[in-house]
Structure formats: C-alpha cells, structure tokens
C-alpha cells in the first residue's frame, strides 16, 4: 500500500495544483460564489468516503425542525434521474438517492430535495416554499458555487484530514488547507468515552483557526429493524446478541469499520457480503447473498444491513429476491460528548435565529 502511494504521489501533486487553482479562482471572485439571505448550513468533508454526513444532517434536522421550517438539498448520488426533484413518500432510491430517501422516510414533514446544481436547487426550493427558514446542504464542502452562511466540516477520528493525502495517493478531495473555509469542525466516530487528554491531542493535531469551533461526536446504534416492514421490531438488539445469532453483514457503504468494530464483541459468527458505496444490487448479487446465507450452518441467523443500504434494498426490484429472508437494518444516530452538545446546539440555533430577518434569495 505504501509503495502504491509513492507511485501515485506525482498524480496527487498535479491533481492538487488543479484544485488549488480552482479554489483560488473562487477566493478571488473570478468564479462566482453565490450567497443567500436564507440561512444555509453546509455539511461536508475533505475526504472521499464516510465521515458520517448523513447522521449529522439528521441531527441538525431533529435540532431545527420543531422551531424552523427547513429543507434539505443533496446531490442525490447514485440516483437514475436528473435535475431538481422534491421528494415525497412515494419516492425511491432510484429517483432521489439512498441518503435523501432516508431523510424523507424519517422526517416526512421536512422538504427533502435533490439537485446536482446546488444554486439552482436552492432557488427552486425558495420558489416552491417561500417561507423556508433554513436549508441544509448535504455533502457540499467542495461545492464552491454556493457560499453557505455556516460551514460544518466533518473528519473521522481514526483518519483525520491533517494526516491524509490528496487523491490518488490518499483520500482527500482537495488540499487540507481547504479546511480554513469551515466555521465548525466535528471529529466524528469518536470512542463513546473520550478522555480530556485525547480531546487536547486531537485539537493540537487539527490546529483550528481562531474563527473555528471544534466538537466531538460519536455513534449510537439502535435496535435491529425489519427491512420489509414498517412495524417496529419487538426485540432489542441484545436479544440477538444473547442468543448467539450468526449474522450475514450486508453492506454497500464507504466505511464499514465502525459497524464491524461495534459488532465484533457481540456477534461471534459474522459473515460478510461487502459491496462498493451506493451499490445498486443486481440479480446475481441477490443470488450470491442468498447462497451465502443458506450456507451459514447455524440454527439462529439473520441478514443485517445498514440503514442507508436498506433504502435501496426496499426497492420493488429486490422484493422477490429477499422475500422470506430475515433481513434487518441497524439505524444509527450521532450524539456529542460532554458540553459539546449544548454548545453545538446553541451555535446552530443562534445562527438560524439571527438570520430570520431575511426571507428572499439574492445573489452577488
């Protein structure tokens, strides 16, 4: 792996130079970056792969939805449609993407939309819902065409962006210097217990600028829920742990490490069917998954997938293949350590409240 990184390093330099020029063109105003009077909160990262954007957007939705009229705007990665779409309860992952569908299924009263062109998406949202009080931009840190009012940068506890390299020798989408655009940095997927000395070490590594606040979040796993039913599972996840269930872990996400780490001491017999992020399962995939499951020699066994994968697996095209199989997904939420929760909430709500005097979109 180290050898491959060395070989790829010259390409990373060229790629980094191209991205650096692009960012400077935005910084100097050569390329336009549009601002909006409506509060815009962007959530994104510097690296390719999962840092936990989806559960952090969901956290913001829970935080804001009772007081403000809000919407989300995503690119809709992996969808088979184009242009601007506002979702409804009949939307599918093929139409809007798995992550936006997850938002809609959890928060029916929130306006969930997709558009690869974020400026147009924001304008369309405001045209359709003039009284919107805040818009959450999903995975938009590199989308410089929009200048958010508040920018949240996520970085994985186990792989801080300061210790990474630009693609292809690393996983950074742009130089780590791009972090200066963030107002908030959240270190995600931290251990449930985070000692003060560890917090200090992480802050020292990240070296935040004076205008930046750093917070630390961790994952909370919910109970297993049936894939093909909206009825809540009457059993807690401990039911499956205590009865030594074997698990076929079916995943199509960027980073499975946190989930595997969580399960490793709780499930003795884990089999894996791992696919790329946002994978669209084929008929042969379904046949292979069923074959692996049938070959697990255990009286108690289930198929367990992630909540994001569940959005795709619920599509009608998979119904027949999965019928009769005990398929469950494990929902997740994020929470913040210690006083971070109170301070993060206060910063977000203060920003949205302070900008409610504005109602119409304008551009520079």
Determine the pLDDT at residue 283: 86
Same-fold call for 2-220+336-354 versus 223-330 = yes
Find residue 118's DSSP bridge partners. Answer: none
Burial of 69 per CB tally in 10 Å (0-12, 13-18, 19+) = middle
| Residue with tokens 């790829």, as numbered in its chain | 8
Residue 273 to residue 294: CA distance in whole angstroms: 13
H or E element at residue 154: strand 150-156
**CATH number for region 2-220+336-354:** 3.40.50.300
Find residue 216's DSSP bridge partners. Answer: 187
Determine the pLDDT at residue 364: 35
Q: Which two tokens stand for residue 201?
A: 């070490």
Q: What is the DSSP string of 271-312?
A: EEEE--TT----HHHHHHHHHHHHT---SSEEEEEEHHHHHH
Q: How far is CA 199 from the centre of its chain?
A: 23
Tens of pLDDT along the chain (364 residues) come to 565 666 777 778 888 899 999 999 999 999 999 999 999 999 999 998 789 999 999 999 999 999 999 999 999 988 999 999 999 989 999 999 999 999 999 999 999 999 999 999 999 999 999 999 999 999 999 999 999 999 999 999 999 999 999 988 889 999 999 999 999 999 999 999 999 999 999 999 999 999 999 999 999 999 999 998 878 899 999 999 999 999 999 999 988 999 999 999 999 999 999 999 889 888 899 999 999 999 999 999 999 999 999 999 988 888 778 888 999 999 999 999 999 999 999 999 999 999 986 444 433 3
Helix-strand-coil split of the chain, %, nearest 5 = 40, 20, 40
Say what the pTM is.
0.93
Pair type for strands 327-330 and 225-226: antiparallel
Residue 281 to residue 317: CA distance in whole angstroms: 9
- Sequence-distant (6+) residues with CB within 8 A of 166 are 12, 13, 15, 16, 19, 172, 173, 174, 175
Q: Which of 54, 30, 29, 34 is nearest to 148 (CA)?
A: 34
| Residue with tokens 């809007």, as numbered in its chain | 96
| Residue with tokens 């935005």, as numbered in its chain | 26
Q: What are the domain boundaries of the chain?
A: 2-220+336-354, 223-330
Q: Which two tokens stand for residue 128?
A: 């359709």
* Architecture category of domain 223-330 in CATH: 3-Layer(aba) Sandwich (3.40)
């Amino acid at each position: 792996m180290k050898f491959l990184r060395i070989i790829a390093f010259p390409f990373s330099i060229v790629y980094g130079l191209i991205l650096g020029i692009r960012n400077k063109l935005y910084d100097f105003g050569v390329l336009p970056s549009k601002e909006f009077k409506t509060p815009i909160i962007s959530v994104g990262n510097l690296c390719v792969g999962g840092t936990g954007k989806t559960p952090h957007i969901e956290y913001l939705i829970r935080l804001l939805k009772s007081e403000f009229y809000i919407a989300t705007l995503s690119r809709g990665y992996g969808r088979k449609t184009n242009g601007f779409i506002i979702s409804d309860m009949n939307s599918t992952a093929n139409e809007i993407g798995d992550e936006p569908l997850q938002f809609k299924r959890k928060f029916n009263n929130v306006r969930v939309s997709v558009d690869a062109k974020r400026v147009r998406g924001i304008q369309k949202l405001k045209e359709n819902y003039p009284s919107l009080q805040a818009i959450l931009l999903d995975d938009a840190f590199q989308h410089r065409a929009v200048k958010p009012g508040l920018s949240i940068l996520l970085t994985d506890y186990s792989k801080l962006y300061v210790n990474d390299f630009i693609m292809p020798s690393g996983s950074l989408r742009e130089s780590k210097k791009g972090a200066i655009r963030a107002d908030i940095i959240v270190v995600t997927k931290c251990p449930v217990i985070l000692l003060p000395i560890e917090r200090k070490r992480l802050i020292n590594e990240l070296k935040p600028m004076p205008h930046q606040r750093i917070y630390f979040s961790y994952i909370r796993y919910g109970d297993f829920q049936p894939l093909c039913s909206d009825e809540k599972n009457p059993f807690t996840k401990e039911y499956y742990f205590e009865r030594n269930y074997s698990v076929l872990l079916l995943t199509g996400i960027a980073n499975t490490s946190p989930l595997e780490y969580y399960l490793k001491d709780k499930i003795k017999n884990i089999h894996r069917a791992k696919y790329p992020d946002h994978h669209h399962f084929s008929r042969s995939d379904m046949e292979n998954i069923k074959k692996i499951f049938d070959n697990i020699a255990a009286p108690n066994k289930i198929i367990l997938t992630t909540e994001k994968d569940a959005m795709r697996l619920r599509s009608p095209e998979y119904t027949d293949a999965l019928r009769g199989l005990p398929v469950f997904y494990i929902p997740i939420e994020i929470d913040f350590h210690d006083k971070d929760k109170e301070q993060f909430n206060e910063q977000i709500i203060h920003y949205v409240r302070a900008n409610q005097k504005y109602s119409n979109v304008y551009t520079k």
